[in-house]
Amino acid sequence: MKMISLVILCLLSACMNQTIHQGNVIKESLSKSISIGTSRTQVENVLGTPVLRTLTNNQAIYMEDLHDEETGEAYQRRVEITYDRAGTVEKIKHYGFEKK
């Protein structure tokens, strides 16, 4: 009985150390595939729904907060996309991808 309890405890403790994502899960290769002139629909097909859109609907922000409880590593990555009046990418900025 003690052996079963010990095995269960070990299995549960392995589940406790998790990587916690909040916001979008941003894959660098996908975010770098967005270029000037890409339509809003194409961007959302690649990156998903943004965490935030400005009131004028000309800017979309994709943000990912990550905390790895096992290593203690925490970082934030962000992609800011500005659209022109036609709804195509006018400007794109990447933040936090240099840190891993």
Domain assignment of residue 27, yes or no: yes
In the chain, the amino acid numbered 46 is V
CA 48 from centroid of its chain's CA atoms: 10
**Does 18 have pLDDT greater than 70?**
no
Closest CA to 79 of 19, 24, 39, 38: 24
Domain assignment of residue 48, yes or no: yes
- CATH no. for residue 37? 3.30.1450
Domain assignment of residue 1, yes or no: no
Number of independent structural domains in the chain = 1
Query: What's the pLDDT tens digit per position in 68-96?
Result: 777 888 888 899 999 999 999 999 999 98
Query: What's the pLDDT tens digit per position in 35-62?
Result: 999 999 999 999 999 998 987 879 999 9
Please give the residue range of the domain that contains residue 31: 18-95
Domain assignment of residue 33, yes or no: yes
- 33 token code pair: 């595939």
**Does 14 have pLDDT greater than 60?**
no
In the chain, the amino acid numbered 20 is I
**pTM, whole model, 2 decimals?**
0.71
Please check whether residue 1 is in contact with residue 8, taking contact to mean a CB–CB distance below 8 angstroms: no
Domain assignment of residue 75, yes or no: yes
